[in-house]
A and B are shown apart, each in its own frame.
Chain A
Amino acid sequence: MLRGDVDSLLLRALALVGLILVSALVAVVLKRRAGRLRPVVDGDVLAAADLGRPLGAEVTFVQFSTRTCTSCRTVRRVLGEQVAGAPGAAHVEVDAEDRLDLARRLGILRTPTVVVLDGTGRVTGRFSGVPTPHQVRDAVPHAGIPGR
């Protein structure tokens, strides 16, 4: 009886260790992916009418946010600061829940996700999570964002 209890506790402790390892793995994977630009080849083309706002002449960052999203605010601040000094760059924030059509069209699954458009509105890349200012500038080296 007592022996069985000890075995069961050991098993449960092992299960808990396994859960902690899974959590650590998830944290590492998401941390590494955060802010990293994934290039899109032959992407969809968005027009100003799709966004309800003018596109940037060189680059447009389309940020998908939801009201439950913790890091969307930080992404908004980082992109806003980067775009402020670059006349050819624009930052458009979209409430993904209001624009489920756009979210579906672009295959957005989690927030914050930022879709990068070139001057013609073609999707050239995307990233999820919070980028560093450096990552934003490196994503679009031609856009003339100051601070390089």
Chain B
Amino acid sequence: MSSTRARESTGTESGSRGIDPRGPRFAAAVTSVVLAVAVLTGSVWVLAFQVLVFAVAAVAGLQYSPYGWAYRTLVRPRLGPPAELEDPAPPRFAQAVGLVVTGVGLVFALAGAGLAVEVAAGLAFVAAILNAAVGLCLGCELYLLIARLRAPRPA
């Protein structure tokens, strides 16, 4: 849980469980393009496609996402090995947050609500482009806030 020694946490412990951190960044970049197209076209199909991608990555794992696959087969072979590996839990949680936001939008859109596609895609677009451009994961940072709101305050 708490490590007070620097040696332990220099990134050498990642071993087999770590993933290349550039994979989720690449996936976030593709995600922002897809969501931008959804905002531009208002197409329910484009949004539905992204909902499906989020669902696969969040439920089955990042390695099963088509964007993850594209990174491994098209991008990764052209790059050097990663400087350090990363825990897959945070980016996977971020996919779940994306799934909730776009999924709710999709449900509203299918129910006939106007601008549901644009609003949901727009919100998810901001989160995705922040992740792609500066490596910031909004959903991960606000996880604590969600946990605080969910757990009842002791009397």
Residues of A within 8 A of B (CB): 9, 12-13, 15-16, 19-20, 22-23, 26-27, 30-31, 53, 64, 66-70, 73, 76-77, 80-81, 83-84, 90-97, 100-101, 103-104, 108-111
- Residues of A near B89 (CB, < 8 A) are 67-68
- Residues of B near A91 (CB, < 8 A) are 2, 4
Within 8 A of A (CB), among B123-144: 125-126, 129-130, 133-137, 139-144
Q: Is the CB of A97 within 8 A of B144?
A: yes
Q: Considering only CB atoms, which chain B residue lies closest to A27 in the complex?
A: B134
CB distance from B152 to the nearest CB of A (A): 10
Interface centre among B40, B91, B136, B153 (most CB of A within 10 A): B136
Asked if A76 meets B9 with Cβ closer than 8 Å, knowing A16-B40, A27-B136, A53-B2, the reply is: yes
Main secondary structure of the interface of B (DSSP, over half): helix
Distance in angstroms between the alpha carbons of A20 and B35 in the assembled complex: 12
Question: Can you list 13 pairs linking A and B with CB atoms under 8 Å apart?
Answer: A15-B122, A20-B129, A22-B126, A27-B136, A53-B2, A66-B144, A76-B9, A77-B6, A77-B10, A80-B6, A83-B4, A97-B144, A101-B154
Distance in angstroms between the alpha carbons of A9 and B41 in the assembled complex: 7
Main secondary structure of the interface of A (DSSP, over half): helix
Which one of A53, A81, A100 contacts B148 once the chains associate, using CB atoms below 8 Å? A100
Q: Considering only CB atoms, which chain A residue lies closest to B125 in the complex?
A: A19
| Other A-B pairs beyond A97-B147, A103-B144, 18, CB < 8 Å | A12-B41, A15-B122, A19-B39, A23-B126, A27-B130, A27-B136, A53-B2, A68-B140, A70-B140, A73-B86, A80-B9, A81-B6, A91-B2, A96-B144, A100-B147, A104-B148, A109-B145, A110-B145
Question: Could you tell me how many residues of chain B have their Cβ less than 8 Å away from some Cβ of chain A?
Answer: 45
Which one of B87, B118, B140 contacts A12 once the chains associate, using CB atoms below 8 Å? B118
Interface centre among B6, B135, B139, B148 (most CB of A within 10 A): B6
Which one of B4, B6, B40, B145 contacts A9 once the chains associate, using CB atoms below 8 Å? B40
Asked if A73 meets B87 with Cβ closer than 8 Å, knowing A22-B126, A80-B9, A92-B2, the reply is: yes
The 8 closest A-B pairs by CB, nearest first: A80-B6, A93-B2, A68-B93, A81-B6, A110-B141, A68-B143, A70-B90, A68-B140
